[in-house]
Structure 1
Amino acid sequence: MIIFRYLSRELLITLGAVSAVLLLIIMSGRFIKYLAQAAQGILDPGVLFTIIGFRMPGFLQLILPLGLFLGILLTYGRLYLESEMTVLSATGMSQHRLLAYSMGPALIVALAVACLSLWLSPKGLAEVERILNEQDSLTEFDTLVPGRFQTLKDGTRVTYTQDLSSDRSQLQGVFISETVVSQQDGKARGLAVLVADGGRQLIQPDGSRYLILEHGFRYDGRPGQADYRVVQYDTYGVQLARPNVVIEVGEMESIPTGQLFGNPDRRYQSELQWRLSLPVLVFIVTLLAVPLSKVNPRQGRYLKLLPAILLYMAYLASLIAVRGALNKGKLPLSLGFWWVHLLFLSIGLILFYWESIRWRFGQRRVVKKELING
C-alpha cells in the first residue's frame, strides 16, 4: 500500500500540473476569440467568463485522458531514469502490478470523465446555447462600449459613442461610419459618415429598433474624391442590426444524456456512443502508457514521448473520424466506436507483453539453432 500511495501521489500531481497547463492553453485561445467578438460588439463583454465557465467541462473531458497519459509517461519515465523502478523491481514489483497500481488513478480519472461527458458537459453547453439565444435578441445599441470603435453589421459599419448612460438609453457624442452598398450589384459605392451630439433608442411595435440621432451632420461621398454631400439634421434614424453570434456548439452535444438512450436516431446513438467512449479511452491509454514509459537511463526520459503522443493523437483522431462517419451514415451503428477501442487495446497488449513475446521468439530460435547444429 505504501508503494501504491507513492505512485498514485506522484502520478496525480503530474496529472494535475499537465492538465492545468493544457486547460490554460486551450481556454486562453478560446477566450481571445470570444474577446475579439466582444470588441466587435457581437458579444456582451459581461458574459465572456460565464461562457468560458460553462465550456470548461467540455474541455476537461478531453484534457484529462491526455493529462493522465502524459502524467504516466513523465512520472514513470523519471522513476526509470532515477533507477527507482529498478529498486522496486528488485523488491518484487512486476509490470502487471505496476499496471494494476496505475489503474487506481485511472479509475478516478475515468469516473471524472464519465461525470463530465454524461452530465456536466451537456448541461454546460445547454447553458451556453441559452446565453447565445439571449445574445441574438441584442442589437448594436446593447453591445456598445463607450470610448471604443466597434465594427458591426458584417464589417460595413463602425460605431463610436463618447458616453453612454447607465440604463443604456442615451448616447452622447455619436460617430457612425457605414459603407454604402449598391442594391443592384452589391458593390460599395461610397461612404456615409454620421456625427451627432446625442442619440436614443426607438423600438417599433414590430420589434425593429432604431437609433435616433439628434443634432448632427451626415457626410456622403467617396474617400479621396471631392464630390461629397453634407446634410444637417435635427433627428435621424438608423436601423440597428442584430449581431451575428458565432460560437461552435454542436447540435447534439447539449442534449441531456437521458434523452439519448432509447432514441433510434443515428445522430443520437452516435453522440451516446461518443460520450460512453471517453471513460473507456482512459483505461486503454493507461495500458498504452505503462509500457511506453519504460526507458533506459542512457536513452533519456523523452525518447518515447513523441511516438507516444503520436499514438495517442492517432487514437483520438480515429474516434473523431468514426464519430463523423457514424453521423453521415458511412458506418453502421452496430460497429460504432468499439472496433477502434479493440484495435488500440490490442496495440496496448502487444506493447505490454512485447518483451515476453520477443523473449519467446528468441528462445525458439536458440532451440532451433541447437537442433540444426546437433
Structure 2
Amino acid sequence: MLLFRSHLIQLIPSFLMATVIITFVLSMDTVYKLITMIIERGVDLATVMQLLTYQLPQFVNMTLPYASLMSIVVFMSRLSTDFELTAMHAAGMSSWTIGSAVVFFGLSVTLFGLLNSLWLTPLGYRAFEEEKLRLLKSQKNTTIQPKVLNYDFSGKVLYVQEKDENEQLKGVFLSERDLDSDSMITVSESGSIEIREKEQDLLLNLVNGKIHLHQQKSSYRIIDFEKLFYVFKSSEMSHDEDGGHVWGRPTSEIWNSPKFSEKRELLMRLTTPVACFVICLAMFSLGVVEPRRGRTASYLRGLILITMYYILWMGANELMEDLSPSVLWMPAVLTLLYGLYNLFRINFQLSGPIEGMRYAGKRSFRKMIHG
C-alpha cells in the first residue's frame, strides 16, 4: 500500500505540469482572438477571462490523453533508469502489482475526463455561445463595422458597405461561412439588426435584395425579395447543425438520438476520455527501458504510441459513415489489447507472442493434469 501511494504521488506532478503546458499551447489561438476583442472592440478584461474559462473544458478534453502519456513516460523511465524496477522485480513483485498505481491513475483520469467531456464541455460551449451573443447585443453599435467581414453570427459571414447614424445598414452581403454546392448567398440594398430580448436572439431585417442559389450543376436560381428576416440563436436554442454546433447539446439529449452527427458526437465524448486509460496501460509496459541506455527510448515509444493511436482514430473517423459509428471504439480496443498483451509478456518475461502461446498452453496442460 505504501509503494502504491508513493507511485501515485509521483505521477501527479508531471501530469499536472503537462496538462497546464499543453492546455496553454492549445488555447493560444483563442487567447489571441480574445486579445483582439479587447483591442479592437473595447471588451473588458473580466468578460474576456469569462469567455476563456468557458472554453477551458474543451481544451482540457483534448489535453488529457497527452498529459496522461507524458506522466507515465516520465514515471516509467525514472523507475527503469534508477534501477527501482529491477529491485522490485528482484523482490518478487509482479508487473501487475507494480502497475496497479498506473491502472488506478489511468482510471481516475478517465473518470475525470468523462465528467469533463459529458457535462462540463457542452455546458461550457453553451455558456460561451450565450455570452458571445450577449456581448454581441451590448456591442452592436461597434461590432457591425462597414467594409469589414463579420464572423460573429453562427455559421454566417456578414459584410456591410455602409452604416448610418441610425444603425441602418446599406449594401448588405450574407453567406455561409463554409461554402458548398448547396450554399445560399444573400445580397440586399439595406437592412437593420434588432435585438429580441424575449426570444434571446438577433433578428437581421433585409430589404430589397436577391438570394442566389446553386442547387445542381446545371441549376442556378435568383430569388428577389422585398423583405427577409434572419434569426441568429445561440447553440443551446439550435436543434441541429444548421443553426448551431452539436457540441453544445446536453449529453442526455443526444444519448439515444438517431441522427448520425449526434451519435458521432456522443462517441467522441466517450472515447476521448477512455483513451487516457488505454494509453496509460499500454505505456506502462512500453516505458520500461534498459537502465544503461537512458530515457530516450521511452520518450520515443511514447511518441510512436500517441501517433499510432490518432492515426487509427482518424481512420475510424473516416469509416464511421460507411460502417457504423461504433467503429470509433476501434483505436481504444486495439490499444487496450496491446497493453494487456505487453503487460502479460513482461510479467512472465516472454520474448514474443509464440512463446506466450506456449506458456499459456503449458499452464492449461498442467492445470488439466493436476486438476
TM-score between the two structures when normalised by the length of structure 2: 0.65
Please say if 1:284 is aligned against 2:273: no
Q: Which has the larger radius of gyration?
A: 1
Please say if 1:258 is aligned against 2:263: no
Could you tell me how far apart the structure 2 residues matched to 1:71 and 1:262 are? 35
Contact persistence 1:54–1:127 (CA under 8 A): yes
Higher helix share: 2
Aligned residue number for residue 230 of structure 1: none
Deviation larger for 82-91 or 112-121:
82-91
Deviation, 1:304, is 2.6
Q: Percent identity?
A: 22
Report the count of equivalent residues.
277
Contact persistence 1:103–1:283 (CA under 8 A): yes
Deviation, 1:317, is 4.4
Contact persistence 2:109–2:276 (CA under 8 A): yes
Any idea what SS the aligned residue of 1:358 has?
Answer: coil
Please say if 1:336 is aligned against 2:327: yes
Q: Given the superposition, is the C-alpha separation of residues 44 and 80 from structure 1 closer, same or farther in structure 2, using an over 3 Å criterion?
A: same
Deviation, 1:27, is 2.4
Please say if 1:358 is aligned against 2:330: no
After superposition, the C-alpha distances for 1:118-174 in whole angstroms (9 at most, x for unaligned) are 10000000011112223444557445xxxxxxx9545599xxxxxxxxxxxxxxxxx
Q: Given the superposition, is the C-alpha separation of residues 134 and 3 from structure 1 closer, same or farther in structure 2, using an over 3 Å criterion?
A: same
After superposition, the C-alpha distances for 1:246-281 in whole angstroms (9 at most, x for unaligned) are xxx971111000001221111111111111112321
Residues 179-190 of structure 1: pairs in structure 2 closer than 5 A: none
Q: Which runs of 5+ in 2 are unaligned?
A: 151-159, 169-190, 195-242, 359-371
Q: Given the superposition, is the C-alpha separation of residues 254 and 289 from structure 1 closer, same or farther in structure 2, using an over 3 Å criterion?
A: same
Counterpart code for 1:257: T
Deviation larger for 81-90 or 263-272:
81-90
Could you tell me how far apart the structure 1 residues matched to 2:284 and 2:117 are? 25
TM-score between the two structures when normalised by the length of structure 1: 0.64
Counterpart code for 2:253: Q
Please say if 1:90 is aligned against 2:83: no
Could you tell me how far apart the structure 1 residues matched to 2:315 and 2:57 are? 22
Could you tell me how far apart the structure 1 residues matched to 2:304 and 2:148 are? 41
Aligned residue number for residue 219 of structure 2: none
Contact persistence 1:123–1:256 (CA under 8 A): yes
Please say if 1:322 is aligned against 2:316: yes
Contact persistence 1:126–1:254 (CA under 8 A): yes
Aligned residue number for residue 59 of structure 2: 59
Any idea what SS the aligned residue of 2:293 has?
Answer: coil
Counterpart code for 2:64: L
Please say if 1:306 is aligned against 2:297: no
Please say if 1:346 is aligned against 2:337: yes
Q: Given the superposition, is the C-alpha separation of residues 155 and 317 from structure 1 closer, same or farther in structure 2, using an over 3 Å criterion?
A: farther
Any idea what SS the aligned residue of 1:20 has?
Answer: helix
Deviation, 1:362, is 6.8
After superposition, the C-alpha distances for 1:210-238 in whole angstroms (9 at most, x for unaligned) are xxxxxxxxxxxxxxxxxxxxxxxxxxxxx
Q: Given the superposition, is the C-alpha separation of residues 307 and 21 from structure 1 closer, same or farther in structure 2, using an over 3 Å criterion?
A: same
Q: Given the superposition, is the C-alpha separation of residues 155 and 40 from structure 1 closer, same or farther in structure 2, using an over 3 Å criterion?
A: farther
Q: Given the superposition, is the C-alpha separation of residues 292 and 314 from structure 1 closer, same or farther in structure 2, using an over 3 Å criterion?
A: same
Q: Given the superposition, is the C-alpha separation of residues 88 and 350 from structure 1 closer, same or farther in structure 2, using an over 3 Å criterion?
A: same
Q: Given the superposition, is the C-alpha separation of residues 307 and 363 from structure 1 closer, same or farther in structure 2, using an over 3 Å criterion?
A: closer
Contact persistence 1:140–1:152 (CA under 8 A): no
Q: Given the superposition, is the C-alpha separation of residues 320 and 132 from structure 1 closer, same or farther in structure 2, using an over 3 Å criterion?
A: farther
Q: Given the superposition, is the C-alpha separation of residues 59 and 363 from structure 1 closer, same or farther in structure 2, using an over 3 Å criterion?
A: closer
Any idea what SS the aligned residue of 1:93 has?
Answer: coil
Q: Given the superposition, is the C-alpha separation of residues 285 and 363 from structure 1 closer, same or farther in structure 2, using an over 3 Å criterion?
A: closer
Could you tell me how far apart the structure 2 residues matched to 1:288 and 1:4 are? 19
* Structural RMSD (CA): 3.5
